Structure 1
C-alpha cells in the first residue's frame, strides 16, 4: 500500500488524484521602503493589511507538477491601509505559485511568487494630491514574493508565519511613478481540505523538445507619459526575433534582436532641439539574452539586452525585462513585460507572438 502523500515513481502516466483546496486568512504589517529621495516624505506611516487567498495543491495532472515537487497555485486578495491620507488604501488581486523547500508531516516551508493588479484609492493629482509621488494612476501592477512557514495545529488547520515584499507600480504609464515597496511580516491561518493528498506522476519523462531549437517572432505595444506636466500618453512599440533552445524540463534559453520606437523621445527632442538643427533618430535596436522558467503553458521571462543602435542617448546602454508569458496554443503566445533601465521602469509591454 502506498503511503499517503508519497509520489508514484513510475514513467507511466497515472490518473491525478483530487487536487484539494487550501483557504488562508492573514494579517500583514509593513513599512514603506525609502528607495528614492522623492518618496522620503511618505515613509513615516506603517501600513497594515489583510489577505484572503484560495490555493490548490497540484497532484500530478500535468508533468510539470512533479518536476517542481507539486507546488500550490492560488489567488490572493489583499487589502492595505497606508495609514496616511496622502496614500489612502490599496486593493489587489494576485495569482501566484508557491514552491515548497521542505515539506513534512506537520510543516511546510515554501517560497511564493505572484503578480497581478492593484487599485490605489488616492493617486497623485496635481491640484488635490500633489504629494503622492508613489503612483499617479489608480490602476497599478503588483508584484509579491514571500517566504512562508506553515505548522499543522490540527489535521486541517495550519498556523502560517511569513516575510516578504509587496510592490505597487504603474510601470511609468503615467508620471510621477516611483512606486512603493512594502517589506512585510505575515501571520495567519490556513484551512486544508486535505493536508497530505496522494500524488501521481512524480517521475514524468522529459518533454520531447528538450535540446531542440525554436524561433519566436513577436510584437508589442505600450503607453507612457513623459512627465507630470505633459498629460499625453505616447505609444511605444517593438518587434522581436529570437532563437531559443529547450535546455531541460524547466528552462528555455533565448538569443534575439529587437527594434524599438518610443514616440515620447521624439516629443522630448521637439521640445529641446533648436530650430533648424537636425534631430537624431529616436528608434533603437538591441540584442538580448533571455531565460524562461517554464510551468506548463506559463513562463516567467527575464531578459538582459544591449542597444547596438541608439543615436539618441536617452537611457543606459543596456536594459532589462521581466514578465509573464502564456502559450494559448503551441503556436500563439501572449506576454506582459516590464522593461527597465537600471532599476527604473520604462514601459509595460503587451506582447503577442508565434513560436515557430
Structure 2
C-alpha cells in the first residue's frame, strides 16, 4: 500500500513537471492560458442510514491529485466565457486511498484511481480573492469490487470501472501574479449507474487545499462590452433516440431467493424515442416539455413469482411512456440539461421499486451541420427517487 502511494505521488509530480517544461518550450501550448495544480483532500464516507455498518470500522482517508488546466480570459473576446465570468477547464488524475479504511472481517474496500475533467467558475472576485463552484466528471478504476465468495459485504461497488462525479466550492487567493492557493470543499459520488449490481455507490464529503501555478501573470478581469451572439430564438424541436443499459436490484433479490448466485446481474437493453418542444429565450437558457416512449427488456413476471408468490393482475409490459419538464443551460455548442418527469404508463410488476417519478441529468454537443438545424450527441444518467441510479443512456438526435 505504501509503495503504491509513493508511485502515485511520483507520477503526479512527474506529470506536473513535464507539463510545465513542455509548455515553456513548445508553441503547441499557449502559456498565457495554461496552469498546473496539485491538491490534497481529507475524505469522509457519508454513512447515511447506517449503510456502511456491516462493512467499515473507519470512515476517513486521504486523496491526492494533479490537474492541468486551460483558462479563459477577457482578451479572448468570447461572449460565452464572459457570461460565465471566465471559467477554467482542467483535466486531472487523483488517487483516493479508500483501500486504507478499516473493514469488517471478510470485507475489502478498494482504492479509487480517478481520471476526470473539471470546470471551475469564479462567480465572485474581490481583488486577489475569488470564489465559485467546481464540477468534476470522469471515470474511476477501483481495486476491490463485490464478490459473492470473497467480498460479500461490499455491496457498494459492483464493477471495476465506475463513474466519478463531484461538486464543490473553492475559495481562492492569488498571492503572487502566477501563484494561487485554494481551500476546497466537495461532495463525491462513485457509481456504475446500475450497469452491474449490487451497486449502492459511495458518497463522500471532502475538504482540502490546492496550490496552482499559472504559466503567465493574471489579466485584468474587467469584462469588455461584447454583443450577445446570434442564437436560435423561440421554439425549437428536439427529436432523439437513446439507448442504454439497466440492471435491477429486484432481479438480484429474486436470484438470491431462488438459490442462484447470479452476481453480478447482467445489464439489459433500454431503448428510448423522445420529442422535446424547447423555448430558447436567452443565449444561456431554454425550457422545454418532452414525451418519451421506453422499451426495457425485463423478467418482471418471474421476479413477482419468486418474491411475491403471485403475478400482477394488471399484467406486464416492456413498453412504458413518460412526460418530463426540462431546463437547459447553454455554452456555445454545448448544453447541460436537467429533467424531471413522470411515467404515464408502466406495468412492471408488484415487486418493482422505481416509482412514478424520474430525474435525468445530461449533456449534449450540437454539431453545426445544417442551416435549418443540427445533429446532437448526448449522454444522460437517469435516476429514481433522486438517489437511485438506474440507467446510463447515450443519445443522438436532431434539433430544428
Match of 2:237 in 1: 215
Distance change (3 Å), C-alpha of 1:141 and 1:276 = closer
- Is residue 206 of structure 2 the alignment partner of residue 184 of structure 1? yes
Match of 2:118 in 1: 96
Query: What is the CA–CA distance in structure 2 between the aligned matches of 1:175 and 1:67, rounded to whole Å?
Result: 42
What is the CA-CA distance between 1:199 and the residue it aligns to?
Answer: 6.2
Distance change (3 Å), C-alpha of 1:241 and 1:189 = same
- For residues 103-156 of structure 1, the C-alpha deviation after alignment (integer angstroms, 9 at most, x for no partner) is 243222121112111111111111121121111001111111121112123222
What is the CA-CA distance between 1:161 and the residue it aligns to?
Answer: 1.0
Structure 2 matches for 1:260-299, cutoff 5 A?
260-263=294-297, 266-273=298-305, 279-299=315-335
Query: How many residues end up aligned between the 2 structures?
Result: 338
Which residue among 30, 35, 41 is the counterpart of 1:28?
41
- Is residue 65 of structure 2 the alignment partner of residue 65 of structure 1? no
Query: What is the CA–CA distance in structure 2 between the aligned matches of 1:18 and 1:204, rounded to whole Å?
Result: 25
Which residue among 376, 382, 387 is the counterpart of 1:333?
376
Match of 1:154 in 2: 176
Q: For the Cα contact (< 8 Å) 1:164–1:185, is it kept in 2?
A: yes
Query: What is the CA–CA distance in structure 1 between the aligned matches of 2:234 and 2:40, rounded to whole Å?
Result: 47
- Is residue 394 of structure 2 the alignment partner of residue 350 of structure 1? yes
Match of 2:93 in 1: 77
Query: What is the CA–CA distance in structure 2 between the aligned matches of 1:50 and 1:294, rounded to whole Å?
Result: 32
Match of 2:24 in 1: none
What is the CA-CA distance between 1:355 and the residue it aligns to?
Answer: 1.0
**Deviates further, 103-112 or 157-166:** 103-112
Match of 1:11 in 2: none
- Is residue 355 of structure 2 the alignment partner of residue 312 of structure 1? no
Task: Give TM-score, length-normalised by structure 2.
Answer: 0.79
SS of alignment partner, residue 131 of structure 1: coil
Task: Give TM-score, length-normalised by structure 1.
Answer: 0.88
Runs of 4+ in 1 over 4 A off after TM superposition: 198-201, 273-278
- Is residue 94 of structure 2 the alignment partner of residue 50 of structure 1? no
Query: What is the CA–CA distance in structure 2 between the aligned matches of 1:137 and 1:262, rounded to whole Å?
Result: 22
Query: What is the CA–CA distance in structure 2 between the aligned matches of 1:201 and 1:237, rounded to whole Å?
Result: 45
Q: Which runs of 5+ in 1 are unaligned?
A: 1-16
Q: Which runs of 5+ in 2 are unaligned?
A: 1-29, 256-261
Q: Which one has more relative contact order, counting CA pairs under 8 Å at least 6 apart?
A: 1
Match of 1:39 in 2: 52
**Deviates further, 191-200 or 178-187:** 191-200
Higher helix share: 2
Q: For the Cα contact (< 8 Å) 1:171–1:348, is it kept in 2?
A: yes
Match of 2:26 in 1: none
Q: For the Cα contact (< 8 Å) 1:254–1:291, is it kept in 2?
A: yes
CA RMSD of aligned residues (A): 2.3
SS of alignment partner, residue 279 of structure 1: coil
**Deviates further, 191-200 or 285-294:** 191-200
Match of 2:135 in 1: 113
Q: For the Cα contact (< 8 Å) 1:73–1:98, is it kept in 2?
A: yes
Query: What is the CA–CA distance in structure 2 between the aligned matches of 1:346 and 1:61, rounded to whole Å?
Result: 42
Q: For the Cα contact (< 8 Å) 1:67–1:203, is it kept in 2?
A: no
Q: For the Cα contact (< 8 Å) 1:80–1:90, is it kept in 2?
A: yes
What is the CA-CA distance between 1:201 and the residue it aligns to?
Answer: 7.4
Q: For the Cα contact (< 8 Å) 2:247–2:390, is it kept in 1?
A: no
SS of alignment partner, residue 317 of structure 2: coil
